[in-house]
Structure 1
Amino acid sequence: MITSLFVIGTVLIVFLYYRANWTSIRSSASVFASSKFWIGIFILITGFIISSIQPFNMERVDAGHVGIKVNLTGDNRGVSKFEYKTGWVIYNTWISKLYEFPTFQQHIDYPEQQVITKGGFSATIKPSFNYSLKPGDVGDMFQNLRLGIKEIEQQWLQTAIVGTVNDVANKWAVDDIFNQREKFESDIVAEANKRVAKWFTISQLRTNIIPPAALQQSIEAKTKAIQEVQVAENQRLVAIAEGDRKIAQARADSAAQVIAAAGEAEAIRRKQVSLNSTYIDYLKIQKWDGKLPQVQTGNGGLILNLDKRND
C-alpha cells in the first residue's frame, strides 16, 4: 500500500509541477527543448524508482489476530526484540517483519501417517483437529520457534500431534482401538494438550484411523459371525414363540371340544330322563297319519285290511 501511495504522490507532484511551469515550457521553441520539461520527467522517473525500492509497508492486523513486529537487526534480532501490534501497522521491511497469529479456533487436516499399535500392528491415520493459540503466549512461542503460524502448523505442531497419536496407540490393542474409538481419541487429546499446553489448546481431534487389510478382513468376518449368531438366536426365539402359540391354540381347541362334548352328553342325559313311555306313545300318535297297516298272514293266507269298515 505504501508503494501505491508513493506512485500516486509522484504523479501528483509531476502534474502540479507541469501546471505551474506550463507557460514557460510552451514559450520555448520546442517543448522538448525546455529544461523544465525534462526536470518533470526526472521527478517522475525518480519517484517510480523510489516507489519500487522503498522499504516501508503498511498492513492491518485483523480482529481475532495478534500481530508481532520483529526487529531483524541487532545482536538478538528476531528473538527478544518484538512488539505486539493491532490495527494498521507501518514498518520498515529492511529492518523489521510483521507476523500475524490467529487467536480464534483453526481447523487443520494432516496427510496420512503410519502408527504402530500395541502388539506391533501397523495402522494408517489421517488426523484432523481444531486448535487455538493462547494470545498472551504468542510472543514466547515466537521466541522459541521463530516461525509463522503456517510453518508451525506443518512442522512443530504436526510432529507433536503425530508423535502423540503414535505414543498413545502403542498402549492400545488394535481391537480396543476400534471398539472404543471415542475413549482412544479422548486419551490422545488429553496427552496432546499436555505436550502443547504452553502455547496451544487442542480439541475435536479425529484420528480417522484405518486398520491394516488383514485386520480389516478379520473384523468384517467377526462382525459377520456375530450377525449370523444374532439371526439364528432371533429365529430360535421366533420358533419358540410359534410353538407356544400352537400349544395354546391346541389347548383352546381341546377345551372347546371338551365343553361341547360335555354339553352334548348333558343334553342326551336330560332327553333320556324325559323319555318315559307315555311321552313316547304321545310322539307316536303325533306322527300317525290315520291309516291302519295291512297285514298278510303266513303260508299264503288271507290279507287283512284293517282300514275297511263294515257297512
Structure 2
Amino acid sequence: MTRNITIGITGFILIIIVLIAQPFTFENIDAGNVGIRINLYGSDKGVDNITLVTGRVWYNAWTTKIIEFPTYTQSVDYDSFVITTKDAAEFKVDPKLNYHINPEKVPQIYRQYRRPLGEIQQGFMKNTIYDAYRIVANSFTSDSVMSNREVFEDRVQNVLTKTLGRDGFVYDQLTSAITPPPSLRQMIDEKNTSIQARLKAENMAKQAEAEAKVIIARAEGQAKATLIKARAEAEANQLRQKTLTPLLIQQEWVAKWNGVLPTTNAGGGASLMLGIK
C-alpha cells in the first residue's frame, strides 16, 4: 500500500516536472506586428523565410525563438547634435523621425542587424540621420540654410528615404528644429530690421509720390478747366464783336430809348439819331 502511494506521488511529480519543463509554448502576435521564427539548432539554423501573421503561434522554445517587430508607425525623438555648414558655421539640430517597417523585409532586418528594434533605432538609424544632416550641410552656407530651409530639409529627407528604405525602414516624416549660432541669429535679426526699415521708407516714398501725383492731377485739371473757360469767353466776345453792326446798335438804342432826348453842352434837346429814316 505504501509502495503504491510512493509510486503515485513520484509519478505525479514527474508529470508536473514534464509539464513545467516541456518546451512547447505559444506567442501571440498582436495586430500591427509581425513575428519571425528563428531556428536555434539544425542545418537551417537562423532566420526562416517565414513572416508570421498576427495571431497565436505555437513553437518549441528549446529549438526555436520568436522575435516580434511592430509594423505600425514609430516616433523617435533623437538627442540634439551639431552640424557644420560649408562656411564653418555650427547649427544645432534636434530631429524627430516618424517611420514604419515594411513587413516583407522584417526577416532581412533581423538577419542584417541581429538586434531588437529599439537598439536598431539608437544605432544604425541614429547614425544614418546624423550622417544625412552632415552630408547635406556641407553643401550649404550658413545664409543659404536659413534662407532655403525647405530645400535643405527636402535634401535631408531624400537621403533618409533612400538609405532607410533600402533596409526596410519606410520614411514617413522628419521634424527638424534647426537653431543657428547666436552670432548668425543676431546678423539675421539686424538684416531683417534693415529690410523692414527699407521697405517702410519705400512705402512712404511711394505714398508721397502718389499723393503728389494726385495734387498735380487736380491742379492740371483746374488749369485746363480755367483755360477752357477763358477760351470760351474769348471766342464769345469775338463773336459778339463781329455781330455788332451800326444798324444793330441803333436798333438796340431805339429799343431801349424812353422818349427823352439826352441833354448836351450845346444846349437844348437835339436828336442824335441822325440818318434814321
Give the TM bin, normalised by the shorter chain.
0.7 to 0.9
Q: Which residue of 2 aligns with 1:240?
A: 209
Unaligned runs of 5+ in 2: 1-7, 271-277
What residue identity is the alignment partner of 2:90?
A: S
Choose from 37, 51, 68 the match for 1:69: 37
Choose from 196, 199, 210 the match for 2:179: 210
Q: Which residue of 2 aligns with 1:263?
A: 232
The 10-residue stretch of structure 1 (182-191 or 50-59) with the greater mean CA deviation from structure 2: 50-59
Instruction: Establish whether residue 84 from structure 1 lines up as the match of residue 51 from structure 2.
Output: yes
Q: Which residue of 1 aligns with 2:107?
A: 139
After superposition, residues 80-229 of structure 1 pair within 5 angstroms as: 80-81=46-47, 84-86=51-53, 87-91=55-59, 96-196=64-164, 197-229=166-198
The 3-state SS of whatever aligns with 1:111 is coil
Q: What does the per-residue CA deviation read over 1:257-310, in whole Å, with 9 as the maximum and x for residues that have no partner?
A: 222111101111222223334433444444444556788999xxxxx899xxxx
Is the contact between residue 41 and residue 63 of structure 2 (CA under 8 Å) also seen in structure 1?
no
Cα displacement (A) at 1:149? 1.8
Is the contact between residue 189 and residue 203 of structure 1 (CA under 8 Å) also seen in structure 2?
no
Cα displacement (A) at 1:208? 2.4
Question: Alpha carbons of 1:276 and 1:92: their partners in 2 closer, same or farther (altered >3 Å)?
Answer: same
After superposition, residues 287-306 of structure 1 pair within 5 angstroms as: 287-290=256-259
Give me the whole-angstrom Cα distance separating, in 1, the residues matched to 2:262 and 2:162. 124
Give me the whole-angstrom Cα distance separating, in 2, the residues matched to 1:190 and 1:297. 120
Unaligned runs of 5+ in 1: 1-38, 299-303, 307-311
Q: Which residue of 2 aligns with 1:29?
A: none
Question: Alpha carbons of 1:56 and 1:122: their partners in 2 closer, same or farther (altered >3 Å)?
Answer: farther
The 3-state SS of whatever aligns with 2:46 is coil
Q: What does the per-residue CA deviation read over 1:85-140, in whole Å, with 9 as the maximum and x for residues that have no partner?
A: 22212346676543222335444332332222222222121213332323333223
The 3-state SS of whatever aligns with 2:167 is coil
What residue identity is the alignment partner of 1:108?
A: V
Give me the whole-angstrom Cα distance separating, in 2, the residues matched to 1:305 and 1:252. 57
Question: Alpha carbons of 1:157 and 1:240: their partners in 2 closer, same or farther (altered >3 Å)?
Answer: same
Tell me the percent identity.
Answer: 33
Question: Alpha carbons of 1:75 and 1:113: their partners in 2 closer, same or farther (altered >3 Å)?
Answer: farther
Question: Alpha carbons of 1:140 and 1:297: their partners in 2 closer, same or farther (altered >3 Å)?
Answer: closer
Q: What does the per-residue CA deviation read over 1:136-178, in whole Å, with 9 as the maximum and x for residues that have no partner?
A: 3322321332222233223321122122212321332111112
Question: Alpha carbons of 1:157 and 1:239: their partners in 2 closer, same or farther (altered >3 Å)?
Answer: same
Could you tell me the TM-score, scaled by structure 2's length? 0.73
Q: Which residue of 2 aligns with 1:252?
A: 221
Cα displacement (A) at 1:194? 4.3
RMSD over equivalenced CA pairs, Å: 3.9
What residue identity is the alignment partner of 1:217?
A: Q
Is the contact between residue 128 and residue 206 of structure 1 (CA under 8 Å) also seen in structure 2?
yes
